[in-house]
């Protein structure tokens, strides 16, 4: 339900994914990563993460299968230890490493803190996912379901379309350019035959970044839009006509008004 990329700070908002298993309902909250903020947007992201951690029954710390804990990871583990919440260590991408490497990762993290459980899994193949749900069961609290049984995310379709486009910006662009972008869906309408007309504006912070996003003779923007349209169609289950524009909003990441306008606000 949340976009992914190889770049840090991909997630900007709190996003809930809902999984139902019999009488149990699991609500997984994806948050921005802990980091040292440099802008008001960064301040917002860190605030969202802290608030989310304080409201959950358990924390899932997902790491890659690398037997190294650097200063950034140490700081994160220290902060998680201070929350008082049980922490489950989730080691992803186990389909890419040998058992010896996996054991080394577990041993390295175990030296840093005591985890409520350790679950190796592969999000790609699905191996270990049911084991993770089983571990989460022990922290389930009695009460009514928070979401309808047919709901898989708390994100409205309009916001999901904007996030899909931003994901493609992160994959296609380098360095600081994608981190200075925001996407606003300005039109989302469905025809009688089910086809969706989608218009979106990509905002960046510099005129030079606008040129990079558009590319030579519009090649980069066409690539980004095509990739986004394909995923939007998969998500919506219907044909999507996508039109994209690029505009400059200098220093928008330090503007309270624009941050809220682009959907980054506490809920």
Give tens-digit pLDDT for 162-217. Answer: 999 999 999 999 877 988 999 999 999 999 999 999 999 999 999 999 999 999 99
pTM, to two decimals = 0.77
Q: Where in the chain is the domain with CATH 3.30.300.20?
A: 157-261
95's tokens: 């389909």
Can you give the pLDDT at residue 66? 96
Integer Cα distance of 152 and 17 in angstroms: 6
Task: Note whether 196 and 240 are within 8 A (CB).
Answer: yes
- Which DSSP state fits 215? -
Please compute Rg for the chain using Cα positions. Answer: 20
Residue 2 has pLDDT above 90, yes or no: no
Class of CATH domain 15-137: alpha beta
Integer Cα distance of 44 and 266 in angstroms: 8
CA 18, 10, 32, 43 dihedral sign is: negative
Q: In this predicted structure, which of 2-6, 15-19, 205-209 has the lowest mean pLDDT? A: 2-6
Residue 132 has pLDDT above 90, yes or no: yes
Q: What are the tens digits of pLDDT across the range 54-71?
A: 788 999 999 999 999 998
Q: In the CATH scheme, what architecture does the domain 157-261 have?
A: 2-Layer Sandwich (3.30)
38 torsion bin: left (phi>0), alpha (psi -120 to 50), beta (else): alpha
Integer Cα distance of 173 and 228 in angstroms: 14
Integer Cα distance of 109 and 115 in angstroms: 9
CA 153, chain centre distance (Å)? 12
Q: Where in the chain is the domain with CATH 3.40.50.300?
A: 15-137
């Amino acid at each position: 339900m949340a976009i992914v990329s190889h770049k840090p700070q991909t997630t900007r908002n709190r996003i809930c994914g809902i999984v139902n298993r019999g009488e149990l309902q699991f609500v997984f909250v994806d948050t921005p990563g802990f980091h040292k903020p440099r802008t008001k947007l960064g301040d917002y992201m860190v605030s969202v993460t802290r608030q989310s951690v304080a409201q959950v029954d358990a924390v899932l710390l997902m790491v890659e299968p690398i037997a190294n804990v650097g200063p950034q990871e140490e700081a994160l583990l220290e902060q998680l230890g201070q929350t008082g919440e049980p922490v489950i260590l989730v080691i992803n991408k186990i389909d890419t490493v040998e058992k010896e490497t996996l054991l080394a990762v577990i041993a390295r993290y175990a030296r840093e803190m005591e985890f409520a459980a350790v679950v190796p899994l592969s999000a790609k193949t699905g191996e270990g996912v049911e084991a993770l749900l089983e571990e989460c069961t022990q922290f389930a609290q009695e009460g009514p379901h928070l979401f309808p049984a047919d709901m898989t995310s708390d994100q409205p379709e309009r916001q999901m379309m904007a996030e899909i486009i931003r994901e493609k910006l992160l994959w296609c662009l380098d360095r600081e350019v994608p981190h200075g972008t925001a996407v606003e869906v300005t039109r989302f309408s469905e025809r009688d035959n089910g086809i969706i007309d989608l218009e979106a504006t990509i905002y960046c912070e510099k005129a030079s970044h606008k040129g990079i996003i558009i590319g030579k003779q519009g090649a980069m923007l066409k690539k980004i839009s095509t990739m986004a349209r394909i995923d939007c169609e998969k998500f919506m289950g219907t044909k999507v006509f996508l039109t994209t524009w690029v505009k400059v909003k200098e220093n928008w990441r330090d503007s309270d008004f624009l941050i809220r306008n682009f959907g980054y606000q506490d809920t």
